[in-house]
Structure 1
Amino acid sequence: MFDLPPADTRALAHWIPLAAARPAMSPAWWPWVASRDSLTARLISAGGHRPFRVRLVNQHLDRPRRDEALALGLPPARLAWVREVALCLDERPWVMARSVVPLDCLHGQRLDRLGERSLGSWLFRQPDLVRGPLEVSADPPPFQGVSGPWARRSLFRHRRFVVLVQEFFLDRMADDLGLPSR
């Protein structure tokens, strides 16, 4: 098991289009950050025989951060469903993920029932799934007390369901895979 320090989820990341980050990103990081397929599937593949686990850190109703509300087109005070998980290999978190769904976009989806299953495992099975453009943050602020070199986010749409998925790649992942710090 591992313990995560208390969250500082109010810190904001500075998001830029993926193409704008390309010059600063090493070729080793590009396939991880720029991929549009399931990150969960990529992590499982990269982990080889190491056990993969989604650890539910938090899920609750909350006001989105200012940058999240803007990305979702929400008024800042509007409540949303927020879910935070750690994507782990050998119980070591490699990626922290934060998903934000406006309440009026849930349309009966019961995200609270996902438990320790990845949201991506459900999303990528939807035949009509549309993924918006990727945005990237270089040197994102610590998330759940841990830090890393890159974060990415995009909007996913499935019929009238909309979710902002943000993934924070951690230093532990870079160390375990021998990736450069950038």
Structure 2
Amino acid sequence: MPIPHDPVDAHWRVAPRATFTTDQKDWATRGGSLTAHLRTLGAVSVSVTREAIDMPFADEWRALRIGPRTPCWVREVVLNVDGVPFVAAHSIVPLAESAGVWQAMRSLRTRPLAELLYSDSSVARSALVSRRLTARHPLYRLAAGLFDDAAVHALVARRSVFERYRAPLMVTECMLPALWSRLSSSLRESHREHSRPLEHLVSHSRRPARPEPK
């Protein structure tokens, strides 16, 4: 059963903001494994950027139902598609649970976390929530080094809490500009493919009629 959503932070919303593009609304609310969705776009690889003991972000501890200074195990990775960073992911679990219920998280190396989350029937998931991240949010600052477009001042992120035997694990996925660029180019290519038969017919209709043989 899904975990009931507790709206503890007004910035994170179940319904995507109206200002999101169609693609952003779609990817912010897609169920299942984000890694699996990315595989429809190309070859996915995982780069681990940090694994360490740390404290939760200011907007995380309430959703995890822990204290603001509870030691946690943090895993941060980049999901690349065809070698290009598409998503920066930040996963956090109370330190005690990382040595117990969620201990497998600490030995994943470059395997995706999805291997743990979607293959175990004892794992429940909360509703997905999303928001825009600006430079004031620490996850934006972590993701900012993965793209060089200075015109991008906000990033779309989504998160949910997974529970296994009441032990929480939060996954936040920050989607990078390269993802939206790939989706836009794929849509343009699709439109070109669909328009080619029509163009072919039009070009043939404009050819001068052959003269009748005498």
Larger relative strand fraction: 1
Partner of 1:104: 96
Greater Cα shift, 81-90 or 170-179: 170-179
Equivalent residue letter for 2:54: D
Partner of 1:161: 167
Q: TM-score, normalised by structure 1?
A: 0.81
RMSD, matched Cα: 2.0
1:124 shift after superposition: 0.5
Q: Which runs of 5+ in 2 are unaligned?
A: 1-8, 145-151, 186-214
Residues 12-65 of structure 1: CA deviation (Å, up to 9, x unaligned): x9732121x242222222221101210000001122xxx210111100111111
Residues 98-145 of structure 1: CA deviation (Å, up to 9, x unaligned): 000012323252322100011112210011221112221124432424
Partner of 1:39: 34
**What is the DSSP-based 3-state SS (H/G/I as helix, E as strand, rest coil) of the residue aligned with 2:40?**
helix
- Aligned partners of 2:163 and 2:169 also within 8 Å: yes
Matched positions, count: 163
What is the rounded CA distance, in whole Å, between the counterparts of 1:58 and 1:139 in structure 2? 20
Larger relative helix fraction: 2
Q: Which runs of 5+ in 1 are unaligned?
A: 1-12
> Does 1:71 pair with 2:69?
no
Partner of 1:59: 51
- Aligned partners of 1:56 and 1:85 also within 8 Å: yes
What is the rounded CA distance, in whole Å, between the counterparts of 2:114 and 2:54 in structure 1? 21
Partner of 1:86: 78
Distance change in 2, residues 1:140/1:128 (3 Å) = farther
- Aligned partners of 2:41 and 2:81 also within 8 Å: no
What is the rounded CA distance, in whole Å, between the counterparts of 2:52 and 2:133 in structure 1? 26
Greater Cα shift, 70-79 or 141-150: 141-150
Q: TM-score, normalised by structure 2?
A: 0.70
Distance change in 2, residues 1:122/1:29 (3 Å) = same
